[in-house]
A = this chain, B = another copy of it.
Amino acid sequence: MQQERQLHYGLIVRIYGDEKCFGPGIAQLLERVQVTHSLRQAAASMNMAYSKAWRIVKTAEETLGFKLLMSVTGGKGGGGAELTAEALNFLQRFREFESALRSYADEAFVEFFS
């Protein structure tokens, strides 16, 4: 019997309503919208088709029951897409939930696999 090799774990957290609506993909997409102020640029930066990004956002909005993105016109940057207050709040809770699970999993992994 060989020694068990060096292992680590991976964790994917998703939120569901009637269907899958929020996970690592849309979280990253929204975070990139915060930076680029553009769903199109955010999608491109993840090598994701704009049509797919749009569909992911629409499905999540329908399932969650609130808007995630809003259009901002004018201003110094010439306008673009911004996250709604509800989106910012939900995104933050998602990341905190993920982070809490990872902290717990780090300890549990050592307990079960060391």
Q: Is there an interface contact between A17 and B13, defined as CB atoms closer than 8 Å?
A: no
Q: Is there an interface contact between B66 and A4, defined as CB atoms closer than 8 Å?
A: yes
Which residues of B have CB within 8 Å of A2?
65-66
Rounded to whole angstroms, the CA-CA distance of A94 and B10 in the bound complex is: 12
Q: Is there an interface contact between B65 and A3, defined as CB atoms closer than 8 Å?
A: yes
Identical chains in the assembly:
2
A interface, over-half SS: mixed
Instruction: Given A2-B65, A3-B65, A16-B7, check contact A109 B97 (CB 8 Å).
Output: yes
Which residues of B have CB within 8 Å of A104?
100-101, 104, 108
Rounded to whole angstroms, the CA-CA distance of A16 and B12 in the bound complex is: 13
Identify the closest chain B residue to A22 (Cβ): B7
Which residues of B have CB within 8 Å of A109?
97
A90 to chain B, nearest CB (A): 8
Q: Is there an interface contact between B100 and A112, defined as CB atoms closer than 8 Å?
A: yes
Residue numbers of A with Cβ under 8 A of B are 1-18, 20-21, 63-66, 86, 93-94, 96-97, 100-101, 104-105, 108-109, 112-113
